[in-house]
Structure 1
Amino acid sequence: MASLAEYHQVSLLWYTFVILTASTVFANRFDVYKAITTNYDKNVFRDQNFSGAVVVSIELTSFQLLHMDQIQETITFMTTLSMIWKDENLSWNASEFGGTSSVVIPYSLLWKPDITLTSGLSVDYITPDEQRYVNVLDDGTVQSTSYCLITNQCRMSVEDFPYDTQMCTITLEPWIYPTDQVDLVVGQRRNRNTTIDDRYFKGNGEWTVVSFDKKLYYNTVSNGQRYAAVDHTIKFRRQPIYYICVLVIPTFVTATICLFGLFVPAMNNGERVEKVNMGLATLLFMAVILGIVAGEMPKTTTLPLLGFFVLAELLLCTIGVIVSMLIMVAHQRASTRALIPPRWLTNELDVYEAITTNYNKNVRPVKNFSGPVVVSVEMLYFNLLFMDQRQETITFTTTMEMIWKDENLSWNAKEFGGTSSILIPSDLLWKPDIIVATGLSIDNITPDEQRYVSVLSDGTVRSITYCLITNECRLSIEAFPFDIQTCNITLESWMHPTDKIALVVGRKLRNLNATINDGDFWVLKEI
């Protein structure tokens, strides 16, 4: 019984000591909290008694990639932002508070450096502000750790897709304070020369983190002030196995089967048709694959490596289909008819050689040089694209028809199997120098090498040109927005007077249904 009584006495004394010690520690920390926060103003940068810049150690101590948006060129990740700085207004003598050398206080009560993620699109703190705390040491050192969800811009280089690596830069810097007030140093919780720790720096299913480097540099603005900034550069490597299995291998196998199938000898016409159908189906498959690749990539001026591969396979299959079709047509024609060119084709060739031999397109085509070349000019079609009311111009497309007689191009149709007209390249003939005198710019939609004219046996030449024209148009806006505008389009010869080239107005039968309006203006009539 005596031993039991002594045990109870010792236990009571021990519990009393523990409670008194804990109370003393709690009281000391509360006293520190009251001492450093009383008369403390978090909106004041620092006390006037202290000089020099506040040095902030900054570092991202963890990284978890959540998503890389390759089309928008952004990455979304979780990270831990660690900042350490010294606030002299928060220091105390630990011996005066029972040896208390640190205290944890709410984050919202202190002055904080305005460190901004200047490369970020959005920053969300996982812990609410009212639940965030910092650790303050007795010398005024403040240790802050924040867990963030960040969306950061990341310029993509997709030339080597899907075997590419990407580098993204996360920039942290003060927004207001220059270096004479707030300076930065790179945190050293993780040595820059050490390898990546997979426990704290993680990619996702598609990307792995290769390196995570940090660098301090300074920017000087126009007023001469310097600002510090810290760059964290992350290098990712893509895991290409998904794209190899889903895109590369199916594309290669399909294209190979297509090419072998197209050139396997066929015994009858039905087999040849089936080969062409197989080639066309392969082309459709390639187009779908190319669309998938394009959907994964940002809209840049460069094509990824996989895109070149698919295009090459697409081109090979296209050539194979065309060659197979030509072989099929040639075989069919050779087996059913003699390969004799049609008579009308040789007649036109004879006419072409007869009228172009010794023809000089630089000479005005009249036998009596005292007489003019009569040119009929008319716009057969008008499509208003845009009316620039500030610049007082209109932009439209039109079909311009010119008809004239070239006496050097006539022939006797009876001598050429009744061939009364042919088409020949426009650049082989003399043409009247008709210009749009009121136009600011004229672009021919059809290239010169693809433009043809119709020539009749009596030498009549008919030329139709499809043009994009920007024309001046003086506007009268007194009745705006119920106004009617009149625009003049003037056609004339640039070098030849009327005794050399005489213009007449074409008399084609047409109505306003041959015009298209731009939605803002309607064509009422043509004068």
Structure 2
Amino acid sequence: MAIQSRAGNMAPPEVYASLLVFLLMSHIPKINPQTPDDTKKLLTKLFTTDAYNKAVRPIDDQTKAISVSIDFSLTGIIEFDSQKERLTTSGYLTITWNDSYLQWDPSNYNRTSAIFIPQDNVWKPDIALQNGVSEFKGVGSSDLLVYAQNDGSVIWSPYAILQSTCKVDITYFPFDIQTCSLKFTSWSYTKYQVQLIEGNKGIVLDEYDESSIWIVVGSSVDTLQELVDATVVFSMKLKRKPLFILLNITVPIIMLSVLSVCVFILPAESSEKASFSVTVFLALAVFLTIVTSTLPQNSDKVSILSVYMVIMEGFNTLTVMLTLFQLRLNFRDVDADPVPSWLIKLQTVVERIRTRRWKKIQPAAYTQDGVLISGPGNTDIRDDRTVEITNLKVLPPKDTDAESSVTWKEISVAVQRSLPINAISQNLLKVWGKNDIVVS
């Protein structure tokens, strides 16, 4: 029957739409919001009526194992004490399992499909860090809650500060990469009662706050099935940021290594020659102490940097001994203590080798008085009996037969020239831009 107005005309379409909405709303059932009474009723049913007991494994067939899935979310690396081989991290676990005794019909409790329950009121696996270094205790605390759903699924997310052992490989310090593991196990149950399995994500880094010393370059997760206890191992690869070590330790050590060679540049008459070599030795000893205090005290792995510093310390020890020996020879009195013949022969051999080497650079011939009779370039014989050829100063050959004229100072110079390290010190003079090379 059509609706007509008082004038006999048909009603407008808006009237029909309003009537349709009214009829539909009248047939929609009334929805009541969930109240605290619904949750209380559900908890009473679970823990009083059904007499839930947290000491009983929540599975109908007690001969089977409960499958427990574990994920680990890393939030930060607090400290990595490489000397004590201890890693301190922060994060939380996401542990899920199915509890057959925490199931209900949501329609009976005003569509309550999930509730939060204190963790101490329900059964949960006694998961603990197996390779921890602090006191042994399970993860979680009494203040935490578990999230239970009507189908029996339980989600537990305990947060923890974890201190674990980590074997350190310091071979390539400070460019080392360390692999550390977190081993979680169900301490009381075996894998026949509780089977721990790895989650779908492994180590989650979504909330990770990057460390100023270490970079997480990789991670993995594995389940150890060959053991009696159920164990899940989370592994992470940590790469050290080397900038701090390079600027404060490595670069100064290299500089000291260069300075240890420069001691042969100083003449024997210098009063600072001995103190300079000793100072470099002590400086390297200080840096060796700093590096040793940073690295773990073990003999399984040795740092290449430590080996290099020990070698440099041995080299500087030899340098100090040679310097003191050279100074001892330089200041001896030839009148009171004549030069032995075997040292004169050593000085003669060194001079001959040196003369041959300079002849290859500037071939020349001399008279017995040291006058240049052949060879290119302008010559100028000076009072010190040196001959200048272009920019090269060459000392005329000495009369090797005059043994009585050899002094202890010449022996000291010959000892220094016989050292291979003397060539390096002479090359340093060239690097520093010295135009006139004086062979003395």
**Structure 2: which 5+ residue stretches go unaligned?**
1-30, 342-440
Using CA pairs below 8 Å that are at least 6 residues apart, which structure has the higher relative contact order?
Answer: 2
Which residue identity does 2:297 align to in structure 1? K
How far off is 1:191 after superposition? 6.1
Check conservation: 2:76, 2:210, Cα contact below 8 A.
Answer: yes
How far off is 1:133 after superposition? 0.6
| 1-structure distance, mates of 2:255, 2:297 | 28
Check conservation: 1:123, 1:148, Cα contact below 8 A.
Answer: no
Q: Does 1:213 align with 2:220?
A: yes
Aligned to 1:315: 314
Q: Does 1:327 align with 2:322?
A: no
The SS at the match of 2:134 is strand
Which residue identity does 1:117 align to in structure 2? L
* Aligned partner (choices 43, 46, 61) of residue 33 of structure 1: 43
* Aligned partner (choices 275, 278, 282) of residue 277 of structure 1: 275
Q: 1:125 to 1:137 in 2, by over 3 A?
A: farther
Check conservation: 2:140, 2:160, Cα contact below 8 A.
Answer: no
The SS at the match of 2:133 is strand
Aligned to 1:299: 297
Check conservation: 1:201, 1:209, Cα contact below 8 A.
Answer: no
* Aligned partner (choices 182, 189, 201) of residue 177 of structure 1: 189
Aligned to 2:248: 246
Check conservation: 2:128, 2:138, Cα contact below 8 A.
Answer: no
* Aligned partner (choices 186, 207, 211) of residue 204 of structure 1: 211
Deviations 1:468-510 (A, max 9, x none): xxxxxxxxxxxxxxxxxxxxxxxxxxxxxxxxxxxxxxxxxxx
Q: 1:323 to 1:49 in 2, by over 3 A?
A: closer
How far off is 1:204 after superposition? 2.3
The SS at the match of 1:333 is coil
How far off is 1:282 after superposition? 0.9
Check conservation: 2:126, 2:138, Cα contact below 8 A.
Answer: no
Aligned to 2:229: 227
| 2-structure distance, mates of 1:123, 1:213 | 26
Q: Does 1:133 align with 2:145?
A: yes
Check conservation: 1:56, 1:184, Cα contact below 8 A.
Answer: yes
How far off is 1:161 after superposition? 1.1
| 1-structure distance, mates of 2:130, 2:36 | 41
Which residue identity does 2:252 align to in structure 1? P
Identical positions, percent? 22
Which residue identity does 2:311 align to in structure 1? A
Which residue identity does 1:184 align to in structure 2? L
Which residue identity does 1:324 align to in structure 2? T
Which residue identity does 1:307 align to in structure 2? S
| 2-structure distance, mates of 1:331, 1:113 | 81
Check conservation: 1:66, 1:203, Cα contact below 8 A.
Answer: no
Q: 1:277 to 1:98 in 2, by over 3 A?
A: same
Instruction: Provide the aligned C-alpha RMSD in A.
Output: 2.6
* Aligned partner (choices 78, 93, 109) of residue 121 of structure 2: 109
The within-5 A match list for 1:361-510 is: none
Check conservation: 2:224, 2:230, Cα contact below 8 A.
Answer: yes
Check conservation: 1:62, 1:80, Cα contact below 8 A.
Answer: yes
Aligned to 1:470: none
Q: Does 1:152 align with 2:153?
A: no
Q: Does 1:164 align with 2:176?
A: yes
Q: 1:218 to 1:52 in 2, by over 3 A?
A: same
Aligned to 1:263: 264
Which residue identity does 2:339 align to in structure 1? L
The SS at the match of 2:232 is strand
Aligned to 2:86: 74
The SS at the match of 2:163 is strand
Which residue identity does 2:234 align to in structure 1? H
How far off is 1:46 after superposition? 3.3
How far off is 1:124 after superposition? 9.4
Which residue identity does 2:264 align to in structure 1? F
| 2-structure distance, mates of 1:50, 1:338 | 101
Aligned to 2:112: 100
Deviations 1:333-367 (A, max 9, x none): 375541249xxxxxxxxxxxxxxxxxxxxxxxxxx
Aligned residues: 308
Aligned to 1:492: none
How far off is 1:21 after superposition? 3.5
Aligned to 2:338: 338
| 2-structure distance, mates of 1:327, 1:86 | 84
Check conservation: 2:202, 2:234, Cα contact below 8 A.
Answer: no
Aligned to 1:503: none
Which residue identity does 1:201 align to in structure 2? Y
Q: 1:67 to 1:113 in 2, by over 3 A?
A: same
Check conservation: 1:186, 1:230, Cα contact below 8 A.
Answer: yes
How far off is 1:126 after superposition? 12
Q: Identify, as 1 or 2, the structure richer in strand.
A: 1
Aligned to 1:484: none
| 2-structure distance, mates of 1:49, 1:82 | 25
The SS at the match of 1:227 is coil
Higher mean Cα deviation, 330-339 or 320-329?
330-339
Deviations 1:305-344 (A, max 9, x none): 2212222332332232222222222333375541249xxx
The within-5 A match list for 1:83-98 is: 83-98=95-110
| 1-structure distance, mates of 2:108, 2:62 | 23
Check conservation: 2:128, 2:136, Cα contact below 8 A.
Answer: no
| 2-structure distance, mates of 1:168, 1:126 | 20
- Runs of 4+ in structure 1 displaced over 6 angstroms? 123-128
| 2-structure distance, mates of 1:168, 1:334 | 66
